[in-house]
Structure 1
Amino acid sequence: MSVDPQTPVAASPAAPPSVPFVGLTGGLAAGKSTALAALERLGARTLSTDEVVHELYAGEELRDLVVARWGSRVAPSGTVDRAEIAKVVFHDADERAWLEQQIWPRVGAAVVAFREDAAAQHPPARAAVVETPLLFEAGMEAAYDATIAIVAPDDLRSDRARQRGHDGIEGREARHLAQEEKAARATYTVVNDGTVQQLEERLAAILDALAP
């Protein structure tokens, strides 16, 4: 684990304690979701933007928009087929841009609501953590007080991806920065190459460092 030399600024004694707002990202199959679950066990409030997108697709508003754009084939039986949508947008930058314009403002609103809810919690959470796979790629790091990158050796990531039914990580990282770049840009980097307990211990140290 590497720790940025900059020390988080403590809140004024007269001010209520603030809840650190943290962006979590990392390499494909590096263990971001495992890290998010560990942070929740450690007392952080957590949100996965992937889960927010899943909920958006399950709702009527986004379903009706994509059906109006691409036809009923992307929502057979009234349920959005994300694999079918992926076929539409994978090779068409304009269609992908249109889809992102529908999704990301709604995700952003969910993140704002999440942060406000975390700030109002009593007792306060240790941090409000948002898992965002394309955090640096989207230029969103400035929105957070700190960022965490979860990384792992490539062979281990490939093994994990295959265990999930994917053909490794090759060819799936076209829109992702290299792990090394994410690690260089993150406030904190955690190497997830051991047990879940070891990962949790490394994340606990980061939460301690973030404490106001």
Structure 2
Amino acid sequence: MTMIIGLTGGIGSGKSAAANYFATAHQIHVVDADLKSRVVVEPGKPALSHIVDRFGDEILLPNGHLDRAALRQRVFSNPQERVWLEELLHPLIREETIRDLESATSPYALLVSPLLIESGQHRMTSRVIVVDVPEALQLSRTALRDQVPEEQVAAIMQVQAQREARLSQAHDVIINDRDLAHLHQQIDTLHQQYLAMLQEKSQ
């Protein structure tokens, strides 16, 4: 089995930019749990039927796909609904994720998930990387990117693991408060470390 490294960080921390660089610069197999969460609710999948049964047709877009923004609004304002949704989706996302990780042919694989710690997905990994940014930067970056009010971003941040909790689980930390060159430099260093670790293991 390929070594699996978890990559996480709060909303707007730059997880996607980091994962993208691992994939393009170092040809690392990346599995994005967020994308898996979209796959399990595609039209025709049982999970979507369960969601419609619970929330009604207004949770769908005109093309029959899930209206993720509408669903997010419903569950973030109601903790019980959020728990119900997580209990439905997390096992399905896990199955899809494992299947994809098992197909990796790169020296190690990267599991990218905003809820890596909270969902217990970190237990599938050998190491955890946290992409860390100051919270004020998280807020402004995300509000700008998603064109949403900062209050909405703050509500999402409340649900995700707090910064200290995430950092306490980290083996490696990438500080993403500067430019892309600075981000890439840190990833290059980590990549070499991981290859060295694998080399050591195989001896």
**TM-score interval for Structure 1 and Structure 2 normalised by the shorter chain:** 0.7 to 0.9
The structure-2 alpha-carbon separation of the partners of 1:157 and 1:86, relative to structure 1 and needing over 3 Å to count, comes to closer
Corresponding letter in the other structure for 1:54: R
Is structure 2 residue 133 aligned with structure 1 residue 152?
yes
Residue identity in the other structure for 2:149: D
Residue pair 1:26, 1:182 contacting (<8 A) in 2 also = yes
For 2:72, the aligned partner's letter is A
Letter in 1 for 2:71: I
Determine the structure 2 residue equivalent to 1:4.
Answer: none
Which deviations, in whole Å up to 9, do the C-alpha atoms of 1:148-167 show, x marking residues without a partner?
A: 00011233323311321133
Aligned to 2:76: 90
Match of 1:33 in 2: 16
User: Residue 90 of structure 2 contacts residue 119 of structure 2 at CA under 8 Å; is this kept in 1?
Assistant: no
Q: Which residue of 1 aligns with 2:201?
A: none
CA shift for structure 1 position 38 = 0.8
Runs of 5+ unmatched residues, structure 2:
199-203
| Counterpart for residue 10 of structure 1 | none
Aligned partners of 2:70, 2:154: CA distance in 1, in Å? 21
2:134 and 2:78 map into 1 onto residues whose CA distance is 32
> Could you state the TM-score of these two structures normalised by the residue count of structure 2?
0.85
Q: Using the alignment, how far apart are the partners of 2:92 and 2:32 within structure 1? A: 14
Q: Residues 102-181 of structure 1: matches in 2 within 5 Å?
A: 102-118=88-104, 121=105, 125-164=106-145, 165-168=147-150, 169-181=153-165
Q: Is the 8 A contact 1:43 1:127 kept in 2?
A: no
Residue of structure 2 equivalent to 1:67 = 52
1:199-210 aligned at under 5 Å gives the runs 199-210=183-194
Count of residue pairs brought into register by the alignment: 190
In the alignment, what sits opposite 2:27?
A: 43
What is the CA–CA distance in structure 1 between the aligned matches of 2:89 and 2:95, rounded to whole Å? 10
Matched, 1:101 2:84: no
Post-superposition shift, 1:63? 2.1
Q: State the alpha-carbon separation in 2 of the partners of residues 162 and 94 from structure 1.
A: 26
TM-score (norm 1): 0.81
Q: Indicate the structure with greater helix content.
A: 2
Q: Which moved more, 1:200-209 or 1:93-102?
A: 93-102
Letter in 1 for 2:164: E
- Cα distance in 2 for residues equivalent to 1:20 and 1:85: 35
CA distance in 2, matches of 1:93, 1:172: 12
CA RMSD of aligned residues (A): 1.8
Q: What's 1:12 paired with? A: none
CA distance in 1, matches of 2:154, 2:133: 15
Identity %: 23
Offset from partner CA, 1:87-122 (integer Å, 9 cap, x none): 33223333222211221111101111112100xx2x
SS at 1:58 equivalent: coil
**After alignment, is 135-144 or 185-194 more displaced?**
135-144
1:185, distance to aligned residue in structure 2 (A): 1.5
Please say if residues 161 and 167 of structure 1, whose CA atoms lie closer than 8 Å, have aligned partners that are also in contact: no
